[in-house]
Structure 1
Amino acid sequence: MNRINPRSFIKTLPMWAGIIALCLVTFVAITLITQHIFEYVPHSEDEVAYLFQAKVLAENRLTVPTPPQAQAFWSPFVIDYDQQRFGKYPPGWPLLLSFGIRLGAPWLINAILGTVTLALIGLLGYFYYCTDEADRSRCLVPLLAVGLGVVTPGFLFLSSSLLSHAASLFGVTLALVALFQTVTVSKYRYLYGIGVGAALGATFITRPFAALGVGLAVGIFVGGLVLRRELQPSLLLWIAGGGLLVSLLLPLFWWAA
């Protein structure tokens, strides 16, 4: 695992140009799937609930009054309680989706997240597999990793939907990028550690169980490095602090709603 230095980065400019081109192809593919297959319409009960939550948040509200004859407007995963109507899901993805509502293009948020996630995956490939001993100008792992994403139907369709999977994957990938910096760069190490926790916290308020699973793996990994005295024990506290800072938005949202 290695840090980026300007000279080696210049040698890999053709690779980065290829990654950028593949990311642009991905964005176009997601856009076409959204337009011609999904037709900008939610196709599952989960998407309907997410879209409802996003519209409420776009109005700077957490809930809306239950409509008269509520059963006539019944929707799965949308809850009526104490004369207020709200979605049952954590607020992370609906909050992001609400920016798409404000722009008049809800589909755009997942398209951007999916595309940026592929770029981050390419960056991870560069970090982990383009070693100092290798000829960086011939390093193809990042390009192959991004290329696999471009031809993965599940990735393309989930990034074209209104579901939360793309946002969750973005958060996890961002956490892994920050984790690499945390364990390899001594300068600003604690800030990167906070970034790991914050990214996992953002994933937690989007898809909690995904964040818990990845967070457990990250905790074991960093804990092992601490036991081997390669990292300071206090780093675990910084990571946990960053995670708690964002994760506490979930109970705060439930309390406020």
Structure 2
Amino acid sequence: MQKKLNIPWAVVVSALFVFIFTNLFSFFIFEHIPHINDEVGYLFQAKIFKTGQLYASSPCAKDFFNFTHIINNGKWYSQYTPGYPFLLLLGLVIQAPWLINPLLAAFSIILFYFLGKEIYDSQVGLLAAIFGSISIWFLLMSSTMMSHISCMFFISLFLLFLFRSFKKPSIINGLLAGLGLGMAFLIRPYSALLISVPFLLFYA
């Protein structure tokens, strides 16, 4: 019989707090627009994806359109890997790309709980969720269009199902762990590599 998914009310409240706070911060402080070069590059590539293309053609007088982290050599596209721009594309579909990070942040709080519970116990999971929800860095980055939060979400997904597979090997646990690590590589490859190397060395 399949176990019922029980999420403590404190974890749910923490996740809701993160979602609401980061949306308000994104609106009142960041005005739902990118503010640094990296964010511009991610959103630019997402808008290209929305047209059904991998890149756009460079505009006339292309030298006037050069921008940090954006390739402009006849083809016009972001230098970054496509994982996070693809997630922003999902936000563009509903005309709310700023919503992606707050959503992933809220679900990350739930992942923190289950990851802490999987490795230690439910009390550790609860503390992980609560402390995560009041982390200044976590709340700030979740309010931006930077890629850190999405990478953290998928790395947490990878770790959760990796540790579950140690206790109970199954195809679904392996697939979800692989999905998490694969998406993390598509978002921030160096971060994903550093996380995965210790496990690769240990089990090699």
Structure 1 length-normalised TM: 0.74
- Tell me the CA shift for residue 5 of structure 1: 4.6
SS in 2 for 1:38: coil
Query: Aligned partners of 1:196 and 1:72: how far apart in 2?
Result: 44
Superposed, 1:99-248 pairs within 5 Å as 99-130=90-121, 139-186=122-169, 189-223=170-204
Query: Aligned partners of 1:59 and 1:75: how far apart in 2?
Result: 21
Aligned-partner residue type, residue 77 of structure 1: H
Percent of aligned pairs sharing the same letter? 32
Task: Name which one, 1 or 2, has greater alpha-carbon Rg.
Answer: 1
Aligned-partner residue type, residue 20 of structure 1: V
Superposed, 1:55-134 pairs within 5 Å as 55-81=47-73, 83-130=74-121
Unaligned residue ranges in structure 1 (runs of 5+): 131-138, 224-257
- Tell me the CA shift for residue 35 of structure 1: 0.7
Query: Aligned partners of 1:45 and 1:31: how far apart in 2?
Result: 21
Query: Aligned partners of 2:163 and 2:36: how far apart in 1?
Result: 36
SS in 1 for 2:187: coil
- Tell me the CA shift for residue 221 of structure 1: 4.0
- Tell me the CA shift for residue 220 of structure 1: 3.1
SS in 1 for 2:146: coil
Which residue of structure 2 aligns with residue 134 of structure 1? none
1:47 aligns with 2:39: yes
Which residue of structure 2 aligns with residue 37 of structure 1? 29
Structure 2 length-normalised TM: 0.93
- Tell me the CA shift for residue 46 of structure 1: 0.6
Query: Aligned partners of 1:163 and 1:19: how far apart in 2?
Result: 24
Aligned-partner residue type, residue 25 of structure 2: I
Query: Aligned partners of 2:177 and 2:200: how far apart in 1?
Result: 11
Contact 2:118–2:164 (Cα < 8 Å) also in 1 = no
- Tell me the CA shift for residue 143 of structure 1: 1.9
Range moving further from structure 2, 191-200 or 83-92: 191-200
Query: Aligned partners of 1:118 and 1:222: how far apart in 2?
Result: 28
Unaligned residue ranges in structure 2 (runs of 5+): none
SS in 2 for 1:203: helix
Give the alignment's Cα RMSD to 1 decimal.
1.7
